[in-house]
Amino acid sequence: MVLKLKCRAKINLAIDVLGKREDNYHLVEMIMQTIDLYDCVSIEEINSGIVIESENPDVPLDSKNIAYKAAKLIKDKFNIDKGIKIKIEKNIPVAAGLAGGSANAGAVLVGLNELWDLKLGKYEIMDMGLNLGADVPFCIMGGAALACGIGEKLTRINGLDNVYILICKPDIFVSTAWVYNNLDISKLNKRPNIKFLLNCLDKKDIYNLSNNMVNVLESVTESNYPQIKDIKKKMIEYKALGSMMSGSGPTVFGIFDDFDCAKHAKENLEKLYKQTYLVKTYKGGIEVE
């Protein structure tokens, strides 16, 4: 039997960093929003081992793949000696600040729970996911959330309803660890007003939301890669209500209230940046087909 799952990317509508834990992980306050840009993950039981297949050359096919780690976590915890083949059809840009790997890991946990009838509840799966990465629990939950702790303490919030999001990823590689390590919290001069932004979401006021988004990680990535400023500037020229870097980058997103403007922006940005996608925000998380 082959189980097929869809797992979606996220953007961050705000990121604040409040401090650092002893293990060097940073304490954050973030507004997370799922978007309808998804990878298809199929899982199939085999006799032994963990096999990863993907046609995307940027996706590791060995134990470095976070989907491999997710399968190993389940196999070890439940002493399962059967193997698993995981096929990943990548649509979410890799190393982009869109949590594509985390979404894949979430899909494997959700899928194996079903395939092997492990009877884990959603919160148990999310707790397991945290062992794989800070963003994995949110990818499993989906929709929109306020994320605290290192990103795992999640409160469901009103998100953006069916809003156009233009995603644009410059062709550069940015490591999340490098961005966090190069952030000097004492020197932050602009921080998000999370309360205000949550209030905007409650009131469905996407104009004030779009104008007041702040991602404190942006300063680190932006000062090393001028493409980020360039994309943000172009998004605004093409009538985005607001534009910001997602996560640790380098993807920049723009929020649009008008389909024709969003389409025009896409057609122009993709001439310069191949990985440009026009999607909508999404209410769900991982789905079994």
Ligand X SMILES: Nc1ncnc2c1ncn2[C@@H]1O[C@H](COP(=O)(O)OP(=O)(O)O)[C@@H](O)[C@H]1O
10, 75, 169, 232: which one is catalytic? 10
| Contact flag: residue 177 with ligand SUD (CB under 6 A) | yes
Q: Which is nearer to ligand X, 95 or 278 (CB)?
A: 95
99 assigned ligand-binding residue: yes
By CB under 6 A, name the one of 5, 7, 8, 12 that touches ligand SUD: 12
Write phi, then psi, for 43 (nearest 5 degrees). -125, 140
- Kindly report the length of the chain: 289
Torsion, Cα 282 163 135 216, to 10 degrees, reads: -170
64: annotated active-site residue:
no
100 assigned ligand-binding residue: yes
Beta bridge partner(s), residue 164: 256, 280
Contact 255, 264 (CB under 8 A): no
CA distance 13 to 31: 5
Which 239-258 residues touch ligand SUD, going by CB under 6 A?
A: 247-248
| Contact flag: residue 101 with ligand X (CB under 6 A) | yes
String of DSSP letters for 121-162: -HHHHHHHHHTT-TTHHHHHH-SEEEEETTTTEEEE-----S
By CB under 6 A, name the one of 133, 242, 250, 254 that touches ligand SUD: 133
Q: Which is nearer to ligand X, 12 or 219 (CB)?
A: 12
CA-CA-CA-CA torsion sign (30, 33, 35, 41): positive
16, 39, 75, 135: which one is catalytic? 135
CA distance 25 to 28: 9
134 assigned ligand-binding residue: no
CA distance 140 to 132: 12
Q: Look at residue 26 and give the partner it binds from ligand X, ligand SUD, none, a contact being a CB closer than 5 to 8 Å depending on partner kind.
A: ligand SUD
Q: Which helix (H) or strand (E) holds 256?
A: strand 252-256
CB of residue 13 vs ligand X: minimum separation in angstroms?
A: 16
Q: Look at residue 25 and give the partner it binds from ligand X, ligand SUD, none, a contact being a CB closer than 5 to 8 Å depending on partner kind.
A: ligand SUD
CB of residue 117 vs ligand SUD: minimum separation in angstroms?
A: 28
End-to-end CA distance of the chain: 13
Tell me the window of 72-80, 89-97, 190-198, 273-281 that interacts with ligand X (CB under 6 A). 89-97
By CB under 6 A, name the one of 247, 265, 273, 285 that touches ligand X: 247
Q: Look at residue 145 and give the partner it binds from ligand SUD, ligand X, none, a contact being a CB closer than 5 to 8 Å depending on partner kind.
A: none
Taking every pair of Cα atoms in the chain, the longest distance, rounded to a whole number of angstroms, is 56
Residue ranges binding ligand SUD (CB under 6 A): 12, 15, 24-26, 28, 30, 97, 99, 102, 133-135, 150-151, 176-177, 180, 247-248
- Which amino acids are annotated as binding site for ATP, given as ranges? 93-103
Active site residues: 10, 135
